[in-house]
Structure 1
């Protein structure tokens, strides 16, 4: 089989926005006939005290066929999958569909002890580590920069 049903059911890419993002990749290569492959990356960072370390990254391929069918439309999506696993983890689909999704884990009440996870997408392999700047907040101590502030400092499609 091929198409959206295969992508969703077999490979666990459940967000159409993930397909849209990957289809816009500047890394598009011809793979034969009227088929092309686009590449994107989804990564999960573990952040502590303003430093985020890449803990997992998946390279994702999307294959589309631009052959015109009788109805005048392209055949479209053939397949999309993570290269190293049969089913992509759910966070890959969400990350590719929308930038800067994160799930926070709190390790004690102090802000300085906060540990969180940051998910990033890119059209190129992700950096092994990122410095997440600390901004001064109201109240005691410092606060980790918000996702929106951090996103403005990091390339979303680099």
Structure 2
């Protein structure tokens, strides 16, 4: 049975052997530049370039809440851009941008791709930074969508 392993470290430098996918949450507004995406962009240009093109051409593709795109950044390393945040700021009613249902859908799609690749999944505490989500609501989604499918997951808590 797979588990969620918690480690201190940098999710952009995933540990372990074999094929790996770094998963993170993007917004549906085309914005890229704050939070974990900054760390991704410092390491590789491809995830940002793919996200921006995916957003720009959204009328002709599947871009939207719950969608996922895997971008290969090294021979056995992929980045999963998962759209699970509506907009980039809290609304006037103080509602956070996180969309749990969209994250759950995206994680299910990610599980299919990770299984096809024989990959483990690595991530920060997705949806809990700028998206304003609660780990208590996101962790069960990860367990249900990835771990119960036999996908090993490592969550990285970054040292400040």
Shorter-chain TM-score bucket reads: under 0.3
When you count strand as a share of all residues, which structure comes out higher? 1
When you count helix as a share of all residues, which structure comes out higher? 2
Mark the structure with the bigger radius of gyration. Answer: 1
Q: TM-score scaled to structure 1, two decimals?
A: 0.26
**1 or 2 for the larger relative contact order (CA 8 Å, sep ≥6)?**
2
